[in-house]
Homo-oligomer: A and B are copies of this chain.
Amino acid sequence: MAFDPTSLRFDDKGLVPCIAQDADNGDVLMMAWMNAEAIARTLETGRVTYWSRSRQSFWVKGETSGHIQQLVDFRVDCDRDCLLVTVRQEGPACHTNRRSCFYTAVRDGEEVELMGPME
């Protein structure tokens, strides 16, 4: 069946969450948001493109930083309201310069930093 981005269940702002996963080692790198046009651009260009809620504009990941995400596989969940992209991530995915945004664990009630910024 042909994929139609408008068949997804967008929220009241026209967005769906998209999880980015490292295609090589399976690490979850980040979560951001896409609208229908960002999805179309991601699929067309192979460069993962989000919708920035803070800037209200398209956000071609790595366009300014060089930390691009090359699309490897694009997946839709059962409810069609969440996306998963597997990617080749150039450098850090996180704006703090860490490989993943999920660098803080909660263990025994305490926050533990799992990784520092990349060199």
Contact = CB atoms under 8 A, between A and B. Distances in A.
Interface of A: 1-3, 17, 19, 21, 25-28, 30-31, 43, 73-79, 82, 84, 94-96, 98, 101-107, 109-111, 114
A110 B1 contact: yes
Nearest to A96: B78
Nearest to A54: B79
B21 A28 contact: yes
Contact of A101 (B26, B77, B114): B77
Given A3-B111, A111-B1, A75 B30 contact: no
A97 B30 CA distance: 26
B43 A106 contact: yes
